[in-house]
Every structure is written in C-alpha cells, then in structure tokens.
Amino acid sequence: MVDFSSWRLDRDLIVGLKQGCLIGAAAAVLILPPAGSATSRLSAHRLAPAQASATPAPHRPHAADFGEVTPSDDAKYIANWVADSGDNTRLAFAILDKRDARVYVFDAGARLIGASPVLLGVAPGDDSVAGIGQRPINEVRPEERTTPAGRFASAPGRNASGEDVVWVDYADAVSMHRVRPVDPKERRLERLASPDPAQRRISYGCINVPVAFFNAVVHPTLAAGRGVVYVLPERKSIQETFASSYAVKEQVAQLTTGSSKRQ
C-alpha cells in the first residue's frame, strides 16, 4: 500500500492545471519524495578537529572564484565564507540572492560554473508559512507565496509529470526547476528577461530558472546528487539568517573578488 502521507505538492506545477476536468484534480497533483531522506534546513554542525601537529600551518583565507561575474556584496560575502570555511562539506552549492533575483552555481571548490536571473516567490519574506507544503495550491494566499531564506540540503527529484527538479526545501515544497510558461498572463519568460528584479517575483515560492541554464548548469551540478543551497534573506540580516549554521568570520568580510583565485 502506498503511504500518501509522505507525498508533497509541487506548488508551481499546479498553476496551469485549471481548465476542464482538471479543475477538481488540482489538489491531487503530487510529488514523489526523492530517494533517501527528505531535504531540510541543515542544523548547526561541527567538523571533527584535525589531528594536532607539532607545527600547525597558519590559516590562509580562501575566496570564491566568480571569474568575470560581479555579484552583490551579500552573495560575495557568503560565497567567500563557504570557500574559506568549507561549509559546503565538499559538495557543489548554489547561492540564491533574493534581492537581486539571481542564482550563482558553484562546484565543490567554490568556482563559479554559472549565474542566471531567476523567478521567485511573489511575496517578500524569509520564512514559509507552517504546513504550507501540505496545502492545496488554491489555499495558498498571495501573501504566503514566499521563497524561504536559509541553508538547505538539496537533492534531485521528479515531479508528477516526470520532470526532473532539484528540491531545496522539500518539506515546504520549494524546488528549483525549469521555468514553466503555463499561464500567458504571468509573462514568466518576459519577466526572466527583465533587468528589474522586482519583475521576477511571480512564483508560488519555487525557483524558476531558464531552461537552457537548468540543462547546462543546474542539472549537471546539483541534480547529480546532494548539494547545498544558500538562500539569502531580503528582510533579515545575513548573520541572523545563518547564525544557527555557522559563526561569521570577520576575516572573510575582507576577501574580495579581486583575490578570488584559490591560494
């Protein structure tokens, strides 16, 4: 017998299923959970201390390699912290800058693979409404359509139509997936092309990326296994959002993209 209690709604997938006999089936569009445990915000973790040596090597700060891309100060700050601290635990990672509505995808060594504008939840805010991942799409009010901020363990998965997605916050039904222009009135493709980040706020909370970017960057980097996604806040501070996951190091704030090559 199938345990339906472990299934989740993919909020954006249901948007286009509101015509004819599919109207009553909107709440029944379900997502199978990915293999292994569900994704979630990662709690504070501590790495095992290295074996003490007689002459410990001095710490050399490392910075993320953005190449020719110029990120926002917050995105650069977090990327440099990840590169310096190893907070990604040797996994590929992504940084989602909500204020700029842009995602940066890195390999495990903190070298940028690609960056792209994205579509985000229409409602400003840094927290999902409790239990929103279990609610039918027609019960999600506009002010509840947020993309939550935080540090997430990502995992690949598939939606009910067989499309591959990257789960960011599985419990709250937030995934990163190819843009779906299911409702012409939303103009999702036009919004993606807009230079104004405010125009790129339209989704129910999921992260919509251009199809070509998903296929060339997101899929080969994050859909191959586990990863880490850092979603930057838009109302809270960086320190407040990530304090439960790590302590901010002042030395990383001094790193710049000008010294971005690994030392």
- pLDDT of 158-168, one tens digit each? 876 778 999 99
**pLDDT reading at 21 higher than 60:** no
Indicate if the alpha-carbon torsion angle 171, 156, 153, 79 is positive or negative. negative
**pLDDT reading at 27 higher than 50:** no
Element (H, E) at 121: strand 120-121
pLDDT band for position 131 (cuts 50, 70, 90): low
Express each pLDDT in 139-188 by its tens digit. 565 556 789 999 999 999 987 677 899 999 887 788 899 998 878 888 99
Q: What is the dihedral of CA 134, 139, 125, 161, to 10 degrees?
A: 60
Residue 41: other Cβ atoms inside 10 A: 17
* CA–CA separation, 126 and 237 (whole Å): 10
**Contact in structure between 34 and 227 (CB atoms under 8 Å):** no
Per the prediction, the chain carries an average pLDDT of 75
Q: How many residues does the chain have?
A: 263
Express each pLDDT in 81-122 by its tens digit. 999 889 999 999 999 999 999 999 999 999 999 999 999 998
**Contact in structure between 178 and 162 (CB atoms under 8 Å):** no
**pLDDT reading at 219 higher than 50:** yes
pLDDT band for position 39 (cuts 50, 70, 90): very low
3-state DSSP call for residue 89?
Answer: coil
**Tokens matching residue 218:** 């997101």
Tell me how far apart the terminal alpha carbons of the chain are, to the nearest angstrom.
Answer: 55
The more confident residue out of 238 and 195 is 195
| Nearest CA among 127, 77, 111 for reference residue 236 | 127
Which DSSP symbol is given to 122?
S
Half-sphere exposure (CA, 13 Å, Cβ side) for 79?
36
**Tokens matching residue 195:** 């230079």
pLDDT band for position 29 (cuts 50, 70, 90): very low
**pLDDT reading at 9 higher than 80:** no
Distances (CA, A) of 81 to 215, 220, 224: 28, 24, 24
Give me the pLDDT at residue 241, please. Answer: 85
* CA–CA separation, 251 and 230 (whole Å): 20
Buried b (16+ CB within 10 A) or exposed e, 127-142: ebbeebbeeebeebee
Superfamily of domain 4-43+62-258: L,D-transpeptidase catalytic domain-like (2.40.440.10)
Distances (CA, A) of 11 to 15, 84, 169, 173, 202: 7, 36, 12, 7, 12
* CA–CA separation, 44 and 60 (whole Å): 24
Q: What is the mean pLDDT of residues 18-32?
A: 34
Distances (CA, A) of 203 to 16, 122, 186: 12, 6, 9
pLDDT band for position 195 (cuts 50, 70, 90): very high
